[in-house]
Amino acid sequence: MVVEEFPNFTTWLLEGGALLTLVYILAFAAIAGLLLGFIVSSFRNGPGEAFYAVSQTVFQAVPDLLGIKWRRVWAISRLAIKENLRLFVVTLAIFVLALAIGGWFLGGGGKYPERSYVAFLFFAAQVLVSIFAVLVSAFSLPNDIVFKTVYTVVTKPVRASEIVLGRLVGFTLLGTVLLAIIGGLSLVFMVRGIEHTHEMPEAITEDQWLPVVDGFTADGRRPFDSRAVFESSVLSTRENDHAHRLAIVRLDDGTFSVVADETAGHTHDVEVLEMDPQTDRPRLVRFGPARGNLRARRPIYAMPRGELPALTLTDEKGSETTGVNVGEVWDYQKYVQGGSQATATFRFSGLSPDKFENQDFINLDLNLAVFRTHMGDIRRRVEAEIELRNVVDVTETETAQRKFVKIPFETEEFKIQTLAIPRKIKNGTISVVGQPDRTQQELDFFDDLAAGGELDLVIRCIDPLQYVGVARASIYFHAGDTSFGWNYFRGFLAVWAQMLSIIALTIALSTFLKGPVVLIGSLGLVVFGYSGRFIAFVAESVLGDDPTQNVWGGGPIEALYRIVTQMNLQHPLPVGMGTNIIQFIDSQILLPGLQSLSYAVPRFEQFNLSNYLAYGYTIDNQVLLINLAVALSFTVGVTVLGYFCFKAREIAAA
């Protein structure tokens, strides 16, 4: 899985300035609310009265917030829930319909069906819940005000804060139940969609078991299992748009077993039902359920160690470098030249036995890229080597024992390649300055190589003039798996956080706008939330100080002009008043405005953590925490704003 950022909650909160931003948001919300109230009241009653009203509101705010009675909040919440039960049912029905239709589009789901399923389900859940959140929140308060039903509440001893908060709680509860049902249904839908088994179309005949000679089968395949002695030329029946091949493998104890290949991200256990007495090879087999999909790997990634970064690269002469780009647009992976001194060093920390499910074999997962500068032997994959070595204290370089082990392997591109490293490694080397190296030493992974939990992993490409590409997340220790269901729940927790933000935002808008305006405004802001990154990019690239870095085409009005007149992006606009007006509106009004708005709502795309689930990784706790913190702080901020806006109405009415 592509991981471009490795955030840390504490660093994000304190050093990244998130806490400070929260304070700013709260202050801004309070001031903006009061200012709005003052302006409106000034128009109606004059500035003197307005000032009095605002001051009163400020002083009342403290007891108003402190004196919140949860009983009254709950009463308003129940009312909010009752009002929207019908919409709840309709949304649920739409989701069920989406599931039914979604099945058509998902089909077999390609090579990794769980990825399509997760992407679709999370997208559907996000969109539906967002719309639901806007719809339930947008009309509630404005309608109460329009139809004057709000008087039945405000005439009671209910505070403005309780009216706002009650709605927030009520709608959130309703949304939470909706999300829980959607999550449960979609999990069942996905598991059922992916669940399957296979059969062999008919008994496997002798000639359909192809012997493996010199590492290849008679039809030119490299066997999928390196232990294979025979591989089937026939495939199983096709289910969910894929089929499996079988192999007879020789196990370490000399016995034989039949295994199925890993296709579509999973494999199956195979039970032999009948052996061919002539050849002693299986004739009839039975496939078990799918195994290996819907998982949640727990990775331990390389981390910075003090001043040293998590990943360091050296070039072909051994000098530190930022890595080679082999000409790809996306420079996520940096490449290491083969047959040279070029390396990539990953620094790991916290490798203790208790973190690993299986302490006898430590799984090292590789997700490497390969780039060939010449064809080479097309039947062989590019070879690389991994060196695991202990971390030596810089003050003891003269005396310390350097312990390391080298593991050569053939790379497998675009798939997770697992190297199972035994805890007791036989062919280790111990090296001390001024002494001959001691080779073939038995080293303990945790005691010798990862002593103190720290370990350096160096990767080299062996084949000359071929390249191996790495990124920080390309190599990690696979400590074990967590439950997929639990991971799924955490994924939906992020969607819930997004829903909470939208509800709070819409309620805040509904405190001072009419229902339809709130609806459009909220939906607009939700769209802004989804495309905030893009809008910020466009604004920055047009307004940026360095014209050479600016993208072609200008701002929204200029873009519209170019589309309508079919003008090339690089062609300058005609000189004249029209161009001046267009550029002025773009650069002075629209783009700065859009830029500011894009920062006013959270980036909703960050609440979609489906990638973790799709690619089978445990959702990073730090990422989840940041998402929840963003949503909660945004909710608090806009709720305070909503409270003051609601109060501003009273001010205006005063």
Partner 1 sequence: MKFAPSFYRKAGYGLLAAILLLPISSLARPSKVTSDPNQAGASTSGGTISQMRVEHNLSQSSLSSIDPTSEVMKLASLGLHGIAVNLLWNQANEYQEKKAFDKVSATVETLILLQPNFVSVWEFQGHNLAYNISREFDDYQDRYFWVKEGLNFFIKGIDFNKRDHRIYDNLGLHTGIKLGNSDEKRQFRQMFRQDRDYMEEQIGQQLNPELIDKPEAGGFDSWLLSYWWYDKSYHMREKLGVPKRTSDIMYWMKGPAQLRNYAEAISEDFRPSEASRRAWRIAFEAWTDRDPISDRTGYGRREIETSFGTIIRYEDMDRERERMLAISRQMDELAPGVRETLRQQKIAALTEDDRRVMTMPEDQRRFKEMMEMMRINQLITVYEIEVATQVPPEHQAKARNLMRELSDGEYRMKQMENYRSTVNYPYWRDFTAMESTVPGVSARQASYDAIEAARQGILEAYDAEETDENGNVVAVRRDGAIDLMFKSFAFISEAIQAYPELSDGESTMVEDLLQDITQYGSYLSIVGREWPDDFPLQWFIDERVRRYGRTNIKNLMTTEDIMARKRELGLLEDSPPPAPEIKTPDPNNPVQDSAKEAEGQAIQGEGKAAEGGGQATEGAGTATEERAGAAQGEG
Query: Cβ of 444: how many Cβ atoms within 10 Å?
Result: 16
Q: Closer CB to partner 1, residue 111 or residue 156?
A: 111
Give the C-alpha separation, 630 to 291, whole Å: 37
Q: Which of 53, 243, 342, 455 binds partner 1 (CB under 8 A)?
A: 243
Closest CB 112 distance from partner 1, rounded Å: 5
Instruction: Tell me, by CB under 8 A, how many residues bind partner 1.
Output: 37
Q: Closer CB to partner 1, residue 390 or residue 474?
A: 474
Q: Which of residues 290-309 bind partner 1 (CB under 8 A)?
A: none
Establish if 111 lies at the interface with partner 1 (CB under 8 A): yes
Q: In the chain, helix, strand, coil percent, each to 5?
A: 50, 20, 30
Closest CB 382 distance from partner 1, rounded Å: 6
Stretch that binds partner 1, among 152-160, 234-242, 277-285, 341-349 (CB under 8 A): 234-242
Q: Closer CB to partner 1, residue 119 or residue 585?
A: 119
Closest CB 425 distance from partner 1, rounded Å: 28
Closest CB 328 distance from partner 1, rounded Å: 8
> What are the contacts of 202-210 at 24+ separation with CB within 8 A?
203/274, 203/283, 203/284, 204/232, 204/234, 204/246, 204/281, 204/282, 204/283, 204/284, 204/285, 205/283, 206/276, 206/278, 206/279, 206/281, 207/233, 208/232, 208/233, 208/234, 209/233, 209/248, 209/279, 209/281
Give the C-alpha separation, 297 to 473, whole Å: 13
Q: Which of 19, 26, 235, 430 binds partner 1 (CB under 8 A)?
A: 235
Establish if 147 lies at the interface with partner 1 (CB under 8 A): no
Q: Which of 71, 86, 104, 566 binds partner 1 (CB under 8 A)?
A: 104
Q: Which of 41, 42, 57, 116 binds partner 1 (CB under 8 A)?
A: 116
Stretch that binds partner 1, among 50-58, 131-139, 218-226, 640-648 (CB under 8 A): 218-226
Facing residues of 405 across strands? 388
Mapped onto helix, strand or coil, the DSSP state of residue 473 is helix
Q: Which of 411, 506, 627, 635 binds partner 1 (CB under 8 A)?
A: 411
Give the C-alpha separation, 573 to 579, whole Å: 6
Q: Which of 62, 213, 375, 577 binds partner 1 (CB under 8 A)?
A: 375
Give the C-alpha separation, 431 to 427, whole Å: 13
DSSP 544: -
Closest CB 646 distance from partner 1, rounded Å: 34
Facing residues of 383 across strands? 410
Stretch that binds partner 1, among 26-34, 142-150, 323-331, 334-342 (CB under 8 A): 323-331
Mapped onto helix, strand or coil, the DSSP state of residue 321 is strand
Q: At what angle do helices 621-653 and 160-194 cross, to 10 degrees?
A: 150
Q: Closer CB to partner 1, residue 55 or residue 237?
A: 237
Q: Which of 484, 496, 604 is nearest to 180 (CA)?
A: 496
Integer CA distances (angstroms), 228 to 118, 249, 250, 476, in order = 34, 4, 6, 27
Q: Which of 233, 417, 583, 595 binds partner 1 (CB under 8 A)?
A: 233
Q: Which of 7, 110, 288, 485 binds partner 1 (CB under 8 A)?
A: 110
Query: Cβ of 143: how many Cβ atoms within 10 Å?
Result: 15
Q: Which of 93, 101, 551, 589 binds partner 1 (CB under 8 A)?
A: 101
H/E stretch holding 267 reads strand 267-276
Closest CB 220 distance from partner 1, rounded Å: 3
The interface mask with partner 1, positions 538-557, x = CB under 8 A, is: --------------------
Integer CA distances (angstroms), 516 to 170, 174, 381, 468, 530, in order = 21, 22, 61, 56, 21
Establish if 412 lies at the interface with partner 1 (CB under 8 A): yes
DSSP 258: E
Give the C-alpha separation, 5 to 12, whole Å: 12
Establish if 254 lies at the interface with partner 1 (CB under 8 A): no
Do 190 and 525 contact (CB within 8 A), yes or no? no
Sole residue written with tokens 């530190």: 320
Establish if 134 lies at the interface with partner 1 (CB under 8 A): no
Closest CB 290 distance from partner 1, rounded Å: 17
Q: Closer CB to partner 1, residue 386 or residue 638?
A: 386
For CA atoms 639, 644, 649, 653, the dihedral sign is positive
Integer CA distances (angstroms), 86 to 74, 132, 171, 416, in order = 20, 11, 13, 47
Q: Closer CB to partner 1, residue 213 or residue 375?
A: 375
Query: Cβ of 443: how many Cβ atoms within 10 Å?
Result: 20
Q: Which two tokens stand for residue 264?
A: 């579509």
Establish if 422 lies at the interface with partner 1 (CB under 8 A): no
Q: Which of 52, 332, 409, 561 binds partner 1 (CB under 8 A)?
A: 332
Q: Which of 46, 61, 182, 15 is nearest to 647 (CA)?
A: 61
* CA geometry: angle 633, 596, 627, nearest 5 deg: 30
Q: Closer CB to partner 1, residue 107 or residue 452?
A: 107
Establish if 372 lies at the interface with partner 1 (CB under 8 A): yes
Q: Which of 9, 73, 115, 460 binds partner 1 (CB under 8 A)?
A: 115
Stretch that binds partner 1, among 231-239, 247-255, 309-317, 638-646 (CB under 8 A): 231-239
Establish if 414 lies at the interface with partner 1 (CB under 8 A): yes
Q: Closer CB to partner 1, residue 101 or residue 251?
A: 101
Closest CB 419 distance from partner 1, rounded Å: 17
Give the C-alpha separation, 544 to 117, whole Å: 40
Establish if 381 lies at the interface with partner 1 (CB under 8 A): yes
- Amino acid making up residue 440: Q
Q: Closer CB to partner 1, residue 212 or residue 370?
A: 370
Establish if 198 lies at the interface with partner 1 (CB under 8 A): no
Closest CB 58 distance from partner 1, rounded Å: 45
Establish if 406 lies at the interface with partner 1 (CB under 8 A): no
Q: Which of 71, 86, 105, 393 binds partner 1 (CB under 8 A)?
A: 105
Establish if 569 lies at the interface with partner 1 (CB under 8 A): no
Q: Closer CB to partner 1, residue 111 or residue 571?
A: 111
Q: Closer CB to partner 1, residue 67 or residue 110?
A: 110
Establish if 382 lies at the interface with partner 1 (CB under 8 A): yes
Backbone angles phi, psi at 567, to 5 degrees: -95, 140
Half-sphere exposure at residue 245, Cβ-oriented, CA atoms within 13 angstroms: 19
Establish if 462 lies at the interface with partner 1 (CB under 8 A): no
Q: Which two tokens stand for residue 275?
A: 């052996």
Closest CB 233 distance from partner 1, rounded Å: 5
Stretch that binds partner 1, among 124-132, 355-363, 364-372, 644-652 (CB under 8 A): 364-372
Binding site for partner 1 (CB under 8 A): 2, 101, 104-105, 107, 109-112, 115-116, 119, 219-222, 233-235, 238, 243, 328-330, 332, 369-370, 372, 375, 378-379, 381-382, 411-414
